[in-house]
Structure 1
Amino acid sequence: MTSFSPRVFSGVQPTGNLHLGNYLGAIGRFAALQSTHDCIYCVVDLHAITQARSVWGGPEGLRESTRSVTAAYLAAGIDPVKNIIFNQSQVEAHSELAWVFNCIARMGWLNRMTQFKEKAGKDRENASTGLFAYPNLMAADILVYKATHVPVGEDQKQHLELARDIAGKFNNDFADEIAGQGFGEAYFPLPEPLIQGEAARVMSLKDGSKKMSKSDPSDLSRINLTDDADAIAQKIRRARTDPEPLPSEVKGLEGRAEADNLVGIYAALAGISREAVIAEFGGAQFSTFKPALADLAVQKLAPIAGEMRRLTADPGHIDQVLVDGADRARAIAEPVMDGVKDIIGFIRKR
């Protein structure tokens, strides 16, 4: 059995304002992993352009959003020296391996991807081929570093399962060549998901049945990572709830989407369980709970917003972080891609 050194890979798309869901579901958790894992964190700008230009904002919008995600990584406490932080398009091996995986993955696998159906909507014939093949690029992002673990939300689990299928098929299809080249029984690991703690899926503040989204037309539906203390508090005070007090047990949140969402947000921000939140606030009215949640959110998020504003005021510094990170990422990815070329039979420069 081939063994692989533990390594974490994850990325965030630069497509508009980052919000609380991005922080609780991804960026805020990345910092915690850096003390226990070898981590690579990417701004996935190649993924951004799979959608309409209006989504990613054109050249200036993409540059601004890429720097904003990088600033959020740094403001959340991710150390760019201890970890690797870079933008995907600077490391060509992502695109090279994605093409190989386009030839490994099967159409039937991609046709089952629910995110493509959601993002393409009713006009699937007008969606880009990049959006359809997005999961193959995601697999390449992970496997070009032979990452063993990926922190993902529930909505990305299907893509990670596809990455495992692609890795397994490559290992199986080229088993003789992999062994013959001295790589052992498998060239790629089968990456495992890391789904951590509470509020892996944060819902809209205006509709608990919908995921918090940067594309929602109402700014009151989300807390942006750049919101100041007053905006954070106001949005929580105006968040939709029902007239009933908080239940005395967690199971009492069933069927109460907005209440469950706010309890989950409090739990995630405080680093405690939903049960602990209910133990403290069970039976309380929202007129009591919302101010407590607002105070906690301001305490946790306002410093991040301030640091992001400070960092984005110096784009040259952010760009240098990305360049330095890309150099280090390339040093890992290029030998992996060279191995793929040798296994497949491509003639390459020596």
Structure 2
Amino acid sequence: MADTVHTPRVFSGIKPSGGLTLGNYLGAIKKFVATQGSMETIYCVVDLHAITVWQDPDDLRNATREVAAGYLASGLDPSQSILFNQSQVSAHAELGWIFNCVARVGWMNRMTQFKEKAGKNAEKQSLGLYAYPSLMAADILLYHATQVPVGEDQKQHVELTRDIAAKFNHDYKVDFFPQPDPVIDGPATRVMNLRDGTKKMSKSGQSDMERINMTDDADTIAKKFKKARTDPEPLPETYDGLAERPEARNLVDIYAALSDVTPAEVVTEYAGAGWGQFKPALADLAVSKLAPISEEMARMMDDPAEIDRVLAEGADRARAIADPILAKTYEIVGMVGR
């Protein structure tokens, strides 16, 4: 059988739990905005993934709208990209079940993120947390997506998606699902903690000073960068000089990502500078880029009906792509009446 040619299409999503951080913005949303217009782009608030651990229903509704507001305030245009929340398109869960029956338990046991999240209490975790990589595969393949912008920590899940697609195609002797590619590029693909450069910036960190929230106002953004942990040494002559300086490297990477230059260019510009010069410059840059987004998010969150309208319209457009692909999947599998 000749290989099927799949239309270039991007899919990615963010989980609505705990609020958006600078890591979400630089690692995902900023790239989403840059990609739209170049090909078909589909961006999702993955609320079904959020409930793999218990969520307060009111908090979940608010967090879902906040992620959507973050998308829109950052520049995602609903006329150029499809923007919706996952639970409004039931085909995600339906294809997720099909893929539960394709994926192997051994594959799931190799997923490092489950081991990290479950820790020593794996037996007490939800089945959803264990099996969610197959739902993630469904999220991607439901749209025959060919590219998936992700952070480095999600690369393994896209590789699993490729394995599931290949096994489905092999088992049913079809060339139906594509092999999507993870897209991981640019500086600050993994934004680190402002107090400990060896740890990823997290929504669930103990101190709010560890992270930049996308809802932080200008004064808070500036304060957090000026108080960010560094070391006593000035910036080196080359980027390689930051190899053993995680906090310093993180701030340089953030500056580079916010200003759309390479980390090497940042080091060249500030070579020999002390932190008393660099951190205020970084704070000013961050405020200029991020404060307008947080202000627009606050405005949008005061009008949740408008956010809900955008998500509902996006869900209609998403279903128009997803439903025929799901119907064909059921036909391939052998379901009657689909």
TM-score by length of 1: 0.95
1:275 maps onto 2:259 in alignment: no
Aligned to 2:188: 199
1:12 maps onto 2:10 in alignment: no
Aligned to 2:4: 2
Rounded Cα–Cα distance in structure 1 between residues aligned with 2:270 and 2:193 = 22
Aligned to 1:70: 68
Rounded Cα–Cα distance in structure 1 between residues aligned with 2:120 and 2:60 = 26
Q: What SS does the aligned partner of 2:98 have?
A: helix
Rounded Cα–Cα distance in structure 2 between residues aligned with 1:68 and 1:235 = 22
Aligned to 1:21: 23
Rounded Cα–Cα distance in structure 2 between residues aligned with 1:15 and 1:9 = 20
Rounded Cα–Cα distance in structure 2 between residues aligned with 1:152 and 1:243 = 34
Gaps in structure 1 of 5+ consecutive residues: 179-185
Letter in 2 for 1:293: L
Rounded Cα–Cα distance in structure 1 between residues aligned with 2:58 and 2:258 = 33
Rounded Cα–Cα distance in structure 2 between residues aligned with 1:15 and 1:143 = 24
Correspondence list, 1:140-151, <5 A: 140-151=138-149
Report the Cα offset of residue 192 of structure 1: 0.5
Correspondence list, 1:49-88, <5 A: 49-51=51-53, 53=54, 56=55, 58-88=56-86
Aligned to 1:131: 129
Rounded Cα–Cα distance in structure 2 between residues aligned with 1:196 and 1:310 = 31
Q: 1:158-195: per-residue Cα shift (whole Å, max 9, x none)?
A: 000000000000000001xx3xxxxxxx1000000111
Q: What SS does the aligned partner of 1:85 have?
A: strand
Aligned to 2:319: 330
Rounded Cα–Cα distance in structure 1 between residues aligned with 2:236 and 2:109 = 42
Identity in percent: 62
Aligned to 2:32: 30
Rounded Cα–Cα distance in structure 1 between residues aligned with 2:42 and 2:238 = 39
Aligned to 1:308: 297
Report the Cα offset of residue 37 of structure 1: 1.6
Rounded Cα–Cα distance in structure 1 between residues aligned with 2:337 and 2:8 = 29
Rounded Cα–Cα distance in structure 2 between residues aligned with 1:200 and 1:348 = 45
Aligned to 1:181: none
Aligned to 2:279: 290
Correspondence list, 1:32-47, <5 A: 32-47=34-49
Equivalent residue in structure 2 for 1:89, among 87, 90, 100: 87
> Structure 1 segments of 4 or more deviating over 3 A?
none
Report the Cα offset of residue 217 of structure 1: 1.4
Conservation of the 8 A alpha-carbon contact between 1:9 and 1:150: yes
Report the Cα offset of residue 329 of structure 1: 0.4
Equivalent residue in structure 2 for 1:237, among 204, 226, 241: 226
Rounded Cα–Cα distance in structure 1 between residues aligned with 2:261 and 2:80 = 27
Aligned to 2:118: 120
Q: 1:297-344: per-residue Cα shift (whole Å, max 9, x none)?
A: 000000000000011110000001011000110111010000011001
Query: What RMSD over aligned residues (CA atoms) do the two structures have, in Å?
Result: 0.7
Report the Cα offset of residue 35 of structure 1: 2.2
Letter in 2 for 1:142: I
Report the Cα offset of residue 74 of structure 1: 0.3
Q: What SS does the aligned partner of 1:214 have?
A: coil
Letter in 2 for 1:12: I
Conservation of the 8 A alpha-carbon contact between 2:52 and 2:129: yes
Letter in 2 for 1:228: D
Gaps in structure 2 of 5+ consecutive residues: none
Equivalent residue in structure 2 for 1:218, among 203, 207, 211: 207
TM-score by length of 2: 0.99
Letter in 2 for 1:99: W
Report the Cα offset of residue 348 of structure 1: 2.1
Rounded Cα–Cα distance in structure 1 between residues aligned with 2:298 and 2:241 = 40
Conservation of the 8 A alpha-carbon contact between 2:37 and 2:80: no
Rounded Cα–Cα distance in structure 1 between residues aligned with 2:315 and 2:139 = 13
1:108 maps onto 2:106 in alignment: yes
Letter in 1 for 2:297: M
Rounded Cα–Cα distance in structure 1 between residues aligned with 2:84 and 2:19 = 19
Conservation of the 8 A alpha-carbon contact between 2:8 and 2:39: yes
Q: What SS does the aligned partner of 1:31 have?
A: helix
Aligned to 1:258: 247
Rounded Cα–Cα distance in structure 2 between residues aligned with 1:195 and 1:117 = 23
Conservation of the 8 A alpha-carbon contact between 2:26 and 2:258: yes
Conservation of the 8 A alpha-carbon contact between 1:341 and 1:348: no
Rounded Cα–Cα distance in structure 2 between residues aligned with 1:105 and 1:167 = 9
Letter in 1 for 2:20: L
Rounded Cα–Cα distance in structure 1 between residues aligned with 2:92 and 2:37 = 26
Q: What SS does the aligned partner of 1:122 have?
A: helix
Letter in 2 for 1:38: E
Conservation of the 8 A alpha-carbon contact between 2:255 and 2:266: yes
